[in-house]
Amino acid sequence: MIRKLIEEPHSIWTEGEGQYSEIVLSSRVRLARNLAQFPFPLMQTEASANAVLERLDKVFANSKELKLYRMSEIPELERQALVEKHLISPEHVQKPENKGIIVNREGSISIMVNEEDHLRIQCFASGLELETLLAQADKIDDEIEKEVNYAYDEQYGYLTCCPTNLGTGMRVSVMMHLPGLVLTNQAGVIFSQLSKLGIAVRGLFGEGTDAHGNLFQISNQITLGQDEKEIIENISSVAKKLVSQEQAARNYLLNNAGPQVEDKARRAYGILTNAKLISSQEALGLISDLRLGKALGVINELDLKTINELYLLCQPGYLQVLAKGHLDPQARDIKRAEIIKEKLAKF
């Protein structure tokens, strides 16, 4: 099942569906949980880490939907592809020993085992869909809790390895495409205001990564002192505000620099359908131009889903999964150019 999930050329965040899908690629709700009777991952021995994996394997043994895999059974390139599909964090693949992933067939649920906490329950949806995701994550959380005792404190709530996750243990994030705010030079100011409001803005692969392709992840920094619903409402309203600011910026661009915006999108199409070599960073920028052109109606040949899938296709790990082996950087740039061309040749 996981091999199929790794190999298929799409992910929840590439579907191009759900609310505000022209701007919001996907939503995620993540709950951090720890089992009371085991040492926290920071203090784990190999034996205690394994015990956690075995305990959870038992919990999901009879599940028809969710299945546990040990990270060590997944080849390196495929682990990298799981990061690129946003199913696990980059940290989760760096030391795969005694780590696990529990996923469903669709990749809409992914639980990391022995990452920073014993459990990181993640639910994903295309577009802005936080309320639905919260209900879904709560349900999984309740089902797990029937079988295990969570580390929980009456005063602090759910106990986590890092104090920034204490309380609800919940982090909510929304992945947005904001080329309008970047092109009109508003992104910097808006993001620094958000930061003062306890909202983190990160790049495509979370903490410490660049916002290539004008993709940004918006998430709550505070997990304590607000209940789940408040956090959801807060992030949801911030996301909606960003959607309207981005929409205004796009309209401004269309009205004041229509030919330039069309030119940018058309050139991106021309380069992506012709280049012989292309780096991941350049490709992400061009896909962003294409996506903006599609949203503004100056590129009509492509659908949103295809454009979103290009973001995934050009990632180094996924690329090497397709190539069925390691590629040196130039070979990657050639392969990337080939598969992008192949994908776009259908139009």
Task: Give contact residues for a copy of itself (rule: CB under 8 A).
Answer: 259-260, 262-263, 266-267, 269-277, 330, 334, 337
User: Closer CB to a copy of itself, residue 231 or residue 265?
Assistant: 265
Give dist(CA 31, CA 238) in Å, integer.
Answer: 20
CB-based contact 285:271 (threshold 8 Å): no
CA distance readout (Å), 128 to 26, 89, 267, 302: 6, 21, 30, 22
The least distance separating a copy of itself from the CB of residue 300, rounded to whole angstroms, comes to 14
**Phi, psi angles (nearest 5°) of residue 68:** -90, 135
User: Closer CB to a copy of itself, residue 133 or residue 283?
Assistant: 283
The least distance separating a copy of itself from the CB of residue 133, rounded to whole angstroms, comes to 39
What does the DSSP assignment read for 73-96?
A: GS-HHHHHHHHHTTSS-HHHHHS-
The least distance separating a copy of itself from the CB of residue 270, rounded to whole angstroms, comes to 3
Give dist(CA 140, CA 160) in Å, integer.
Answer: 18
Secondary structure class of 43 (helix, strand, coil): helix
List the one residue out of 347, 297, 339 whose CA is nearest residue 318: 339
User: Closer CB to a copy of itself, residue 200 or residue 257?
Assistant: 257
User: Closer CB to a copy of itself, residue 64 or residue 346?
Assistant: 346
The least distance separating a copy of itself from the CB of residue 268, rounded to whole angstroms, comes to 8
User: Closer CB to a copy of itself, residue 69 or residue 269?
Assistant: 269
The least distance separating a copy of itself from the CB of residue 263, rounded to whole angstroms, comes to 4
Secondary structure class of 156 (helix, strand, coil): coil
